[in-house]
Structure 1
Amino acid sequence: MHTKNRSLEGLRGAAALLVVFFHLGQVLHLPGVVRNGYLAVDLFFVLSGFVVCSAYGERLETGRHAWHFLVRRFGRLWPLHIATTVLFYVVGSLPLILTHSGFFAPTGAETLSIVTMTQGLNIVSHSFGNANAWSTSDEFYVYLLFASICLIARRRVQVGFAFVSATIGLAIAIYIDAGTCVSNGHCMDLTSNFGWARCISGFFTGVVIALFRQRLT
């Protein structure tokens, strides 16, 4: 039976509030309200890697275990992802429907990307639907990568892979965002455009911490 780490739950709650206040500041045009709150998303990625590795790292021993893990992750992410996307298009369509101007709908390529949760992987070059769902997309595919590594590699190799992945992800994010970061000081705010690099870096940083914690204990 799994028990919750209350300190981590509290940290996740604080991070969630920071993200909410950040978006609230954007909507109300109040840039001074938690200006860098978007960075709490990176904290979520680190916590996710730490928790997932701690809970499942030693249990993903066979394809059956990995399949069950991915099904559970998919079951937690996909329904909410679809529900929020549908809500986005319904609300966006209301003004058009009321004025008999048609309705607001994704293109075929966008629909396919939404259904497969690939909208955060730079397959489509622009943001669409629920713009914040890029993190859901990226995290699911990082789960897939994590499960694959647990299946094919021994623990020592897993540590090395996690460290290299975290480093490469961070390097890509810094390279892509360097110009924006220098010009306006708004750094690492990559979403559907290379947000996957942030996700890989944060998630596998959490995995490295979890693996070293296990070794120390």
Structure 2
Amino acid sequence: MIRRYLPEVDTLRAIAVMLVVLFHAYPALVPTGFLGVDIFFVISGYVISRAYLFPLLERRTTLADFYSSRFRRLAPALLLTVLLTALASFVLLKPVDRAIFAPSLVLQPFYLQNFSFWLGGDSLTPPLANPILNTWNLAVEEQFYLLIAGLCLVTTTRQRLFWLLLIAAATLSFAFYIVCGTLGASPHSAFFLLPGRLWQLGLGVLVFGLVRKVREAPQPPRRLLSVALVGTILIAPLVPATAGPLAVTLKTLVACLATAGALALFELDREHYAVLRVRAVRYLGRISYALYLWHWPLLSLAVAVQGRLLTPVEATLTLLVAGLLASLTYHLVEMPIRMRRVVRNRRVLLVVLLPASIAVLAIAMAMLLTSGAVR
């Protein structure tokens, strides 16, 4: 029996978001905290597969329902943060910085901003040049959803063909990641584009497919192993970075495989140690999406206003504000819309959010067409 909610998944989300946030605020403290994004991708693939993929494959739901649920889950908080970030950037950034910011802002409503960062050679390291640079992975996820939809349409009811095609795509993606990232052919392509990330999302999907097959098998001692895997996820990014892309690739593989293994064990076991269900950590996991959205624009704009990198105290205060905004966004925007307590009809939701998208485009075009000079 597949349970509706796995509290341990929120624990993993909390770990992933804190790795990313701490890396951005204190890069010397967590030098490879960017592995949190890799962990997020595996979790995302697993959760999407768990909640939506099999109903789609078995024709118990439709692609329209799938995209509606994803839009309801992700778009409101994203549009809120992007719109407010765009308005703040319009006021606070220098013209040259607004001109750099504008192309990615134009592409954001279409979930194509990762191509702007790829072409622009941006990096997820200080000095935090672009206030919405952290949204690149959301664009990659949306592109992955389109791929999943295409596979569902092509394979119709032939589930074996679906899995064969997904395995082939993930294998090719991993080869792309090795060639472009590890071997250095195009590190930015491996980082920002779907072909370099599909294997991580696909790993999450494939692990759930495997779990669905074996969940009734006799249970080995899983609780201790699941705790060990979570410990691996925590420790791997904290190990001091060594020279060379091969070391980063190995850490990425360890983090992704440990995440996949932990997710599988969470699903298979009925009980876990209390350390994996600490209420405060799980709450951090629940607001992780909003925290991820808010932390980067605040850090980026704070750097722009100060004209220098933030001190540890300033970075800590900025993260506290991000945490407060994330909590408010979760309770006042994300959950009411997601749980259909407000805006129950999907068409009404589109009508409500459309003005925000138009406003983002208007601000972006004003920056772009004037080379950032207008204010």
Q: Shorter-normalised TM-score: what interval?
A: 0.7 to 0.9
Paired AA for residue 86 in structure 1: L
CA distance in 2, matches of 1:199, 1:93: 32
Larger radius of gyration between Structure 1 and Structure 2? 2
- 5 Å-filtered alignment, 1:104-183, equals 104=98, 107=102, 110-121=104-115, 125-126=119-120, 127=122, 130-153=132-155, 154-178=158-182
Offset, 1:23: 0.8
- Whether the 8 Å contact between 2:22 and 2:30 is mirrored in structure 1 is yes
CA distance in 2, matches of 1:198, 1:163: 14
Q: Which residue of 2 aligns with 1:18?
A: 19
Offset, 1:78: 2.6
Paired AA for residue 160 in structure 1: L
Offset, 1:148: 2.8
CA distance in 1, matches of 2:76, 2:119: 24
Offset, 1:111: 4.4
Offset, 1:50: 1.2
Q: Which residue of 1 aligns with 2:197?
A: 199
Paired AA for residue 113 in structure 1: L
- Whether the 8 Å contact between 1:42 and 1:198 is mirrored in structure 2 is no
Question: 3-state DSSP class of the match of 2:55?
Answer: coil
Offset, 1:180: 5.5
- Whether the 8 Å contact between 1:38 and 1:189 is mirrored in structure 2 is no
> Deviations 1:119-166 (Å, cap 9, x if unpaired)?
124697225550010011110121121133234322212222222222
CA distance in 2, matches of 1:151, 1:87: 37
Match of 1:81 among 73, 78, 83: 78
Match of 2:207 among 206, 209, 213: 209
Offset, 1:197: 2.8
Q: Which residue of 1 aligns with 2:307?
A: none
- Whether the 8 Å contact between 2:177 and 2:197 is mirrored in structure 1 is no
CA distance in 2, matches of 1:110, 1:92: 13
CA distance in 2, matches of 1:96, 1:15: 30
Question: 3-state DSSP class of the match of 1:152?
Answer: helix
Question: 3-state DSSP class of the match of 1:170?
Answer: helix
Offset, 1:64: 6.5
- Whether the 8 Å contact between 1:15 and 1:44 is mirrored in structure 2 is yes
CA distance in 1, matches of 2:61, 2:6: 27
Q: Which residue of 2 aligns with 1:184?
A: none
Paired AA for residue 71 in structure 2: F
Paired AA for residue 135 in structure 1: N
CA 1:112–1:189: 2 relative to 1, 3 Å: closer
* Cα RMSD (Å): 3.2
CA distance in 1, matches of 2:37, 2:9: 15
Q: Which residue of 2 aligns with 1:49?
A: 45
CA distance in 2, matches of 1:180, 1:85: 32
Paired AA for residue 16 in structure 1: V
CA distance in 2, matches of 1:76, 1:45: 16
Question: 3-state DSSP class of the match of 1:125?
Answer: helix
CA distance in 1, matches of 2:150, 2:189: 28
CA distance in 1, matches of 2:52, 2:93: 47
Question: 3-state DSSP class of the match of 1:159?
Answer: helix
Query: Scaled by the length of structure 1, what TM-score is found?
Result: 0.77
Q: Which residue of 1 aligns with 2:230?
A: none
Q: Which residue of 2 aligns with 1:92?
A: 89
2:55 paired with 1:38: no
CA 1:215–1:24: 2 relative to 1, 3 Å: same
The structure, 1 or 2, with the larger RCO (C-alpha pairs under 8 Å, 6+ apart) is 2
CA distance in 1, matches of 2:48, 2:85: 30
Query: Scaled by the length of structure 2, what TM-score is found?
Result: 0.47
CA 1:41–1:111: 2 relative to 1, 3 Å: closer
